[in-house]
Amino acid sequence: MYTDLFLYFLFSSFALLASLMVISLSNAVHSVLFLILVFCNIAGLLLLLGAEFLSFMLLIVYVGAIAVLFLFVVMMLNIKKTSTTLSFFFNRPIGIITFSILFNQLLGVFNDFDTFGLKQKDLIWISWITEHNNLTNIQAVGKVFYTKYSFLFILSGLILLVAMLGAIILTMHQRTDVKKQKIELQLNRNFGGSVKFINLRK
């Protein structure tokens, strides 16, 4: 009964530690690698909860696409280890005040923080009939995503269109001084007059 609690705390503490490393390292590539570690830990947490479709979606989209995009941009921008001209303690008071105010607000309401399982719990029993007749996560999401929330599905398609347009407008450099081959012209040429017999000797 305590394995899932232990695994939960393992994954969540690794996720929080890795997120602290993301914001405090000076080498950008290390930051991106710790970001990938955060994503993998949260995906593991979601697997524990039973949302397996969303967990693998998170891995595929976040790690496979977004983190790789971050790595491409880090490599392209040639960021060296940045030396800070302002001291490290410059912005710290305001940041810490903001953080502690928000954290106090949110912590003060959650009085039920029971870390070590010292409270009396009920017994868990598993009803195998409902476990067998359940819908899987992907079936449950699919039943509702294309029927009731179909408008949001189409709208997110439009958002992806906007992202594609934005990435192309902002960053595409079409170079005009590069010679390219046009295969369709090469295949379509009329090669009737390309070879000619010349009589050299009369």
Partner 1 sequence: MLTYINSTNTSTLLFLISVLGIFLNQKNILVMLMSLEMMFLAVSFNLIFASIHLDDITGQVFSLLILTVAAAESSIGLAILVIYYRIRSVITVELMSLMKG
Partner 2 sequence: MYNFYSILPEIYILCNICILLMYGVFFSTFPSLGYPLLNKNFNLLVLQILIFSFLLAFSQTPLNLLNWNNLLISDFFTYYAKLIIILATIGWLLLSFGYSIKEKLNYFEFWILVLLAVVAMLFITQAYDLLTIYLTIEFQSLIFYILASIKRTSEFSTEAGLKYFILGAFASAFLLFGSSIVYGLTGLTNLSDLSKLFLGLIGNEISFNLIIGFIFILVALLFKLSAAPFHVWSPDVYEGAPISVTAFFSILPKLAILGLLFRFLLFTFYDFISYWQSIILIAAFLSILIGTFGAFAQTKWKRFLAYSSINHIGFFLLALLSGDLNSISSVIFYGIIYIITMSGIFAFTVNVNFYAYSKTYQLRYLSNIKGLAKTDPFLAFALTIILFSMAGIPPMAGFFAKLFVLLAAVQVDAFGISIFAVIMSCIACFYYIRLIKNIYFDSVINWKVMEPMHKMSSLILGLSLIGILFLFIDVEMVSIITLLMSIPFLH
CB of 79 to partner 2, least distance (A): 15
151 binds, among partner 1, partner 2, none (CB under 5 to 8 A by kind): partner 2
- What are the backbone angles phi and psi of residue 94, rounded to the nearest 5°? -65, -40
- What are the backbone angles phi and psi of residue 175, rounded to the nearest 5°? -90, 135
What is the C-alpha to C-alpha distance for residues 82 and 40, in angstroms, rounded to an integer? 27
- What are the backbone angles phi and psi of residue 178, rounded to the nearest 5°? -100, 130
* Contact with partner 2 (CB under 8 A) among 1, 169, 183, 187: 169
Burial of 168: CB neighbours in 10 Å, binned 0-12, 13-18, 19+: exposed
- Considering the rule CB under 8 A, would residue 49 count as an interface residue with partner 2? no
CB 48 within 8 A of CB 8: yes
- Considering the rule CB under 8 A, would residue 150 count as an interface residue with partner 2? yes
- Considering the rule CB under 8 A, would residue 66 count as an interface residue with partner 2? no
Cβ partners under 8 Å of residue 124, min gap 6: 1
75 binds, among partner 2, partner 1, none (CB under 5 to 8 A by kind): none
- Considering the rule CB under 8 A, would residue 149 count as an interface residue with partner 2? yes
- Considering the rule CB under 8 A, would residue 158 count as an interface residue with partner 2? yes
Region binding partner 2 by CB under 8 A among candidate stretches 4-12, 74-82, 105-113, 129-137: 105-113
The amino acid occupying position 172 is M
- Considering the rule CB under 8 A, would residue 163 count as an interface residue with partner 2? yes
- Considering the rule CB under 8 A, would residue 76 count as an interface residue with partner 2? no
64 binds, among partner 1, partner 2, none (CB under 5 to 8 A by kind): none
Which DSSP category does 135 fall into? P
- Considering the rule CB under 8 A, would residue 187 count as an interface residue with partner 2? no
Region binding partner 2 by CB under 8 A among candidate stretches 28-36, 39-47, 87-95, 149-157: 149-157
Sign (positive or negative) of CA dihedral 56, 62, 65, 68: negative
38 binds, among partner 2, partner 1, none (CB under 5 to 8 A by kind): partner 1
Can you give the C-alpha Rg of the chain in angstroms?
A: 29
Which DSSP category does 193 fall into? G
* Residues making contact with partner 2 (CB under 8 A): 105-106, 109, 148-152, 155-156, 158-159, 161-163, 165-166, 168-171
